Amino acid sequence: MPGLLRDRYFEYAPNRAWDLVTGETVSAQIEEGQPHASDPASGPLIELLDHGIDGMPRWIVSGAGGVEWRKEIHRAAREARHRGYVPIAVEIFLRTRLLLAEHLRTRALLLIARPDLSIDSMRMALLHAAAISQGPHVLLEMAHSRGEGHEMRWRAAEARVSYGATRSRTAAPVPAPPAPPDVIRLLERARRAADFVQSGRHAAAERLLRETAAALGRRRAGVAAAETYMALGQLLLERGRVAAADTAFEEAAVHAESVDVRLVGRARVWQAAGRTDAGQLTAAESLCRAVLVASAVEEVRQLAEATLGRVLLWQGRLAEAAALPFVRQTTALANPQGSPHVFVAATAVRLLVETGDLFEAGRRARALLDATGGGDHAARVIALGAHLRVLLATGDLTLAREQLGVFEAATRAARTPLRLARMRLAWSHALRRAGRASEADRERRSLARMRSVLPPLLQSAVDRRVTPPAPPPAGATCAAAVPAGAAELVTLAHKESDDADALKRIGTFVLQGVRASRVEFWTSDEGPATPVVTSGAGLTTRLGPRALEAGTVIGPESAESGWEMAVPVRLGSRLIGALCARWPADRSPGDALTLLNLASAVAAPRVESLSHDVRAVAQAATAIPELVGVSAAIGEVRRAVLRAAAAPFSVLIEGESGVGKELVARAIHHLSPRRSRRFCDVNCAAVPDDLFESELFGHARGAFSGAVHDRAGLVEEADGGTLFLDEVADLSARAQAKLLRVVQQQEVRRVGETFSRKVDVRFVSAANRDLRREGEEGRFRQDLLYRLEVIRIRIPPLRERPEDVAPLVRHFWTAASARVNTAATLSHGVLAALARYHWPGNVRELQNVMAALAVEAPTRGQVRASLLPAVITGATTVTAARLSTARLQWERRFVEVALARAGGNRSRAARDLGLTRQGLLKALERLGLASLS
> What is the rounded distance in angstroms from the CA atom of residue 112 to the CA atom of residue 129?
12
pLDDT in the model for residue 654 = 92
User: For residues 516 and 510, is the Cβ–Cβ distance under 8 A?
Assistant: yes
Across 3-125, the runs of DSSP E, i.e. the strands, are 3-5, 9-13, 16-19, 25-27, 58-62, 85-89, 108-113
Give me the amino acid identity at 736.
Q
Q: How far is CA 466 from the centre of its chain?
A: 32
pLDDT in the model for residue 465 = 52
Buried b (16+ CB within 10 A) or exposed e, 894-908: ebbbbbbbbeeebeb
DSSP 298: H
User: For residues 647 and 615, is the Cβ–Cβ distance under 8 A?
Assistant: no
pTM score of the predicted model:
0.62
Strands 679-683 and 698-699: unpaired
Contacting residues for 838 by C-beta, under 8 A, at least 6 apart: 799, 875, 896, 897, 900, 901
Furthest-apart CA atoms within the chain: distance in Å: 139
Coil, strand or helix at 331: helix
Four-residue CA torsion sign, 262, 263, 269, 272 = negative
Reported as a single tens digit per residue, the pLDDT across 390-420 is 888 888 888 888 888 888 888 888 888 888 8
**Taking CA 330 as the corner, what is the angle to CA 325 and CA 331, rounded to the nearest 5 degrees?**
110
DSSP 135: S
Residues of the chain with pLDDT under 50: 1, 146-152, 159-174, 332-334, 466-482, 621-622, 875-879, 933
pLDDT in the model for residue 725 = 92
> What is the rounded distance in angstroms from the CA atom of residue 840 to the CA atom of residue 656?
9
Residue 597 class from Cβ within 10 Å (0-12 exposed, 13-18 middle, 19+ buried)? middle
- Please, which residues bridge with residue 762 across strands? 722
Element (H, E) at 570: strand 562-571
User: For residues 509 and 600, is the Cβ–Cβ distance under 8 A?
Assistant: no
Strands 679-683 and 722-726: parallel
**Closest listed residue to residue 774, CA positions, set 820, 712, 732, 811:** 732
Q: What's the mean pLDDT when you consider all of the chain? A: 80
- The helix-helix angle for 397-414 and 417-433 (nearest 10°) equals 170
User: For residues 550 and 9, is the Cβ–Cβ distance under 8 A?
Assistant: no
